[in-house]
Amino acid sequence: MKKTTNRISVLKTYKLYIGGQFPRTESGRYYAALDAKGNKIANLCLASRKDCRDAIVSARNASGSWGMRAAYNRGQILYRIAEMLESRKEQFIAELVWQGLSRSAAQRETEGAIDRLIYYAGWCDKYQAIFSTVNPVASNHYNFSVCEPMGVVVLFAPESPLLGLISVLAPCIAGGNTAVVLAHQAKALAAVSLAEVLNSSDVPAGVVNILTGNNEELMPWLAEHKDVNAILYTEKEPSILTALRKKATGNLKRVIHWPIQRWLDASAQSPYRITDLQEIKTTWHPIQQIAGSGSSY
Amino acid sequence: MATKNKSTIKPLRLGAGWKYAPAPESAAAAHIQDQYELFIDGKWQKPKKGTYLESINPANEKKLYRAAVATEQDVDKAVAAARKAFDKYWKKMPAKERGKYIFRIARLMQEQARELTVMETLDGGKPIRESRDFDIPLACQHFFYYAGWADKLEYAFPNRAAKPLGVAAQITPWNFPLLMAAWKIAPALATGNTVVLKPAETTSLTTLKLASIIQEADLPPGVVNILTGAGETGASLVRHPAINKIAFTGSTAVGKLIQQETADTAKKLTLELGGKAANIVFSDAPIDQAVEGVVNGIFFNQGHVCCAGSRLYVQESIAAVFIQKIKDRMATLLVGDPMDKNTDIGAINSAAQLEKINQYIRLGKKEGALHYESDARLPQKGFFCRPTLFTKVAQSSRLAQEEIFGPVLAILTFRTEEEVIEKANNTPYGLSAGVWTDKGSRIFNLSRRLKAGVVWANAYNLFDPASPFGGYKESGYGREGGWHGLHPYITF
């Protein structure tokens, strides 16, 4: 813990982020966040199954209104997150350095995350225009298919502590889903600090919920929960992927796997990452044949 | 407890007072073999273990044909044939030539539509009118639609090059046998995959006929393989290590088993499963049109439809009138010989399915819902069920929660729009929904808020190859039909 010359520094308490609030874990458990040398730098909440449930309830409650918000407005909010992150760039770089990244890597990670938010902010009101269709059915009906959010999505955050996290979170909420994020266990400081950014970025309460804790313990609960619509996993651990798919079967969750290695690459971002978390809804509506329809007035 | 039809208008009693003159289609149009082998590598091949399953006509319980039962070794052979065909022919063929083969299938099917129609009805029990006007033409149309996609895929996915997955394992249900085979095979071939398909054991006939049409179209051997058999055959196919894709249409329970079974593989999976669709009628709806839609929604194909409108939500202010009108309409429905062109409701697909439906009817009575059925006269032989409805059904009743897959309508009422949205969404399923109202803004509100893959507004049970179909939640994932129907068969 760093000391300045004349005063005792104030240590930050890293808490969970659920429903727009910063509660401690109901379990009272904690674990240590370590720096590159293995020294303890902070206490983190070791979230419990109950915290998972609370986060899912918050995400569900926020789901309807977030999904139906104007796409333009969602875009503005994503842009606002980027602005807030930019203004606190130095803090994030410092935290990433604490957790073992080099100064230049931490800077790339932070700037990459900001740019990625901008990228998806711009997609919010455009992906529908590309991936929805008007279908020329043979009967006399107006028929169209649109993308709709899946609902509540659990994001298992990748090891890349900020850029990786933003790269899964941004396409998820850009598409109108609400998220429960399980931060990467070993590098969770940036995730908790991101909660503070989200909280001051006009993101409605419950749209993003962030948990820290023992990933191995919490993953099965999150993958099994009946009110989760989809789970997203990005690591390449086959045994975990298999276990998640099996746990997800109970309510046929969509299990999305993005085995991304290099988060800075342009391939880590794409509108297809938005549509991976969308359902397709088709509506049929009759067209009345009015008198004179044969003429070309 | 049974209720009587208390219509104020004089009810039509078609079964009792007077009859339509019979208008039977001739069974002679169908050339049905006594026995069918497996279609592997472009040839008809005997099953390794030499076992066969009898298929009967559910309308008279007479034997119709015997179909081979494919076992693990046959599955192995078919998958190897499909793999070889993928590497040797299909992958290398210019896309426009691939497309022409699929067009050829569509045309040959159209030419033999009458035979396919008669086969479908004899084998599955659905009214000949439905086979003739719905199943068969739509199946042809599906091939025609996807044939055109084959050489246009570079326009389909912005900034991406679509590649086929390889060998697709496909399993189809017994309710729309040929149509479901078309839904599966056409997009798979158009995107450059090869196929091993297993039809349902009670209704394999038209799929076997399709195999001979594919042979006649001179497709390279092994591009499409058809394996008949029951659940065991399907399980071996799903487990086979050399397949790249599984497309399954069937029950939610089996869909979940398949997700479990394939959890440790890279097989791309799409599932089209059960449903318990809400058909919602508001007081301002065009009432007589809505009655037609609701009746068609539940009694089409004997209610053996995954998207059947099996839960009717009718607004309280019009409930009495509306339910009476449904009863009056039900009195005119002719139940009987599926080969008769007058028949509205044909045979239940199998004895087992009839038993399942009857169990639900008994359960509904026991739970205290009010039972009503039409007084249609049923044939002596075969599996038949009168069109049935239940009123005073509780939201929590199993009649309102579980898929019955038969001609049984559960009726519930509602007062407000908010209430009905919540009730309609209160099910693990999410395949389809119907909305009947004169108000456009209300249609779009409901269409947006109902968790269902397809919403029919002032319409029901409409299908088209250009229109994507598939569910939310436990009704499965992936879409069939339209541009979206290409996705399950490609990778970037």
Average pLDDT over residues A25-42: 92
Specify the DSSP element, H or E, that contains A70.
Answer: none
Residues on chain B touching A254 (C-beta within 8 angstroms): 477
Report yes or no: B226 and B68 within 8 Å, Cβ to Cβ: no
Rounded CA separation B192/B198 (Å): 19
Taking 3-state DSSP, the helix, strand and coil percentages for chain A, each rounded to the nearest 5, stand at 45, 20, 40
User: Chain A contact for B307, CB < 8 A?
Assistant: no
3-state SS record for B388-451: EEEECCCCCCHHHHCCCCCCEEEEEEECCHHHHHHHHHCCCCCCEEEEECCCHHHHHHHHHHCC
Report the distance separating Cα A79 and Cα A59, nearest Å.
21
For A33-47, the three-class secondary structure string (H helix, E strand, C coil) is EECCCCCEEEEEECC
User: SS3 for A279?
Assistant: strand
Q: What is the pLDDT along chain B (492 residues), one digit of tens a residue?
A: 455 666 556 666 655 556 788 999 999 999 999 999 999 999 999 999 999 999 999 999 999 999 999 999 999 999 999 999 999 999 999 999 999 999 999 999 999 999 999 999 999 999 999 999 999 999 999 999 999 999 999 999 999 999 999 999 999 999 999 999 999 999 999 999 999 999 999 999 999 999 999 999 999 999 999 999 999 999 999 999 999 999 999 999 999 999 999 999 999 999 999 999 999 999 999 999 999 999 999 999 999 999 999 999 999 999 999 999 999 999 999 999 999 999 999 999 999 999 999 999 999 999 999 999 999 989 999 999 999 999 999 999 999 999 999 999 999 999 999 999 999 999 999 999 999 999 999 999 999 999 999 999 999 999 999 999 999 999 999 999 999 999 999 999
Q: What is the mean pLDDT of residues A96-124?
A: 97
Place of tokens 């004349």: A6
Can you state the angle between helices B440-449 and B417-425, rounded to 10 degrees?
Answer: 30
Chain A residues near any Cβ of chain B (below 8 Å): 64, 68, 130, 133, 135-139, 141, 143, 145, 148, 229, 238, 242-243, 245-246, 248-252, 254, 270, 272, 279-286
Cβ of A135 and B482 within 8 Å? yes
Q: Which of A254, A281, A286 sits opposite B477 (nearest CB)?
A: A254
A30-286: CATH topology? Aldehyde Dehydrogenase; Chain A, domain 1 (3.40.605)
Query: What is the three-class DSSP state of A227?
Result: coil
Residue ranges of chain B assigned to CATH 3.40.309.10:
278-457
Q: What is the DSSP letter of B485?
A: G
* CA pair distance B10, B7, nearest whole angstrom: 7
Question: Tokens for B172?
Answer: 């189809």
State the CB neighbour count (10 A cutoff) for residue A129. Answer: 8
**CA A240, A241, A246, A248 torsion-angle sign:** positive
Fold of B27-273+472-491: Aldehyde Dehydrogenase; Chain A, domain 1 (3.40.605)
Contact B267/B300 with Cβ under 8 angstroms?
no
CB contact under 8 A, A252 and B158: no
What's residue A11's pLDDT? 83
- A284–B467 CB contact, under 8 Å: yes
Please give the Cα distance from A230 to B273 (Å, whole number).
Answer: 17
pLDDT of residue B13: 61
Given a cut of 80, whether residue A1 has pLDDT beyond it is no
- The closest alpha carbon to B192, from B130, B142, B146, belongs to B146
What backbone torsions phi and psi does residue B435 show, to the nearest 5 degrees?
Answer: -130, 125
Closest CA to B7 of B321, B370, B386: B321
Number of separate helices (H) and strands (E) present in chain A:
10, 10
C-alpha to C-alpha distance for A271 and B255, rounded to whole angstroms: 29
Sort out which chain A residues have CB atoms less than 8 A from B459's CB and list them. Answer: 141, 284-286
Instruction: Please say if B306 is a catalytic residue.
Output: yes
B278-457 topology per CATH = Aldehyde Dehydrogenase; Chain A, domain 2 (3.40.309)
Task: Name the catalytic one among B25, B37, B115, B306.
Answer: B306
- Non-local (6+) Cβ contacts of B26 within 8 A are B118
What angle, 0 to 180 degrees and rounded to 10, lies between the N-to-C axes of helices B231-239 and B72-85? 50
Tell if the CB–CB gap between A272 and B454 is shorter than 8 Å. Answer: no
**What pLDDT does residue A74 have?**
98
Tokens 């409650």 label which residue?
A: A61
pTM reported for the whole predicted model: 0.95
Q: Do B179 and B135 meet the contact criterion of CB atoms below 8 Å apart?
A: yes
Taking the Cβ of residue B443 and every Cβ of chain A, the question of whether any pair is shorter than 8 Å is answered with yes
Which of B232, B269, B309 is closest to B69 using CA atoms?
B232
Are A258 and A232 in contact, with CB atoms under 8 Å apart? yes
What ipTM goes with this model? 0.95
In this structure, what token pair is assigned to residue B195? 């196929």
Residue of chain A whose Cα is closest to the Cα of B428 = A251
- Asked if B428 is an interface residue toward chain A (Cβ–Cβ < 8 A), one would say yes
CA-closest candidate to residue B200, choices B53, B31, B82, B359:
B53
Per-residue model confidence (pLDDT) at position A8: 86
- The whole-angstrom distance between residue B363's C-alpha and the CA centroid of its chain comes to 25
Give me the mean pLDDT over the A147-155 stretch.
98
Domain with CATH 3.40.605.10 in chain B: 27-273+472-491
**Tens of pLDDT along A178-207?**
999 999 999 999 999 999 999 999 999 999
**A250 vs B contacts (CB less than 8 Å):** 256
Q: Is B212 left (phi over 0), alpha (psi -120 to 50) or beta?
A: alpha
Q: Which residues in chain B are contacts of A140 at CB distance < 8 A?
A: none
Residue B272 is a catalytic residue: yes
User: In this model, does residue A297 exceed pLDDT 80?
Assistant: no
String of DSSP letters for B60-89: TTEEEEEEE---HHHHHHHHHHHHHHIIII
**Where in A152-238 does DSSP place strands (E)?**
152-156, 178-182, 208-211, 230-233
Which residue from B260, B453, B466 is facing A246, i.e. has the nearest CB? Answer: B260
**Domain extent listing, chain A:** 30-286
- B459 CB within 8 Å of a chain A CB: yes
Q: Is the pLDDT of residue A291 over 70?
A: no
Cβ contact A138–B464 (<8 Å): yes
Handedness of CA B426, B427, B432, B434 (dihedral sign): negative
With 0-12 CB in 10 A as exposed, 13-18 as middle and 19+ as buried, what is B44? middle
Residues in B closer than 8 angstroms to A130, CB to CB, are 158
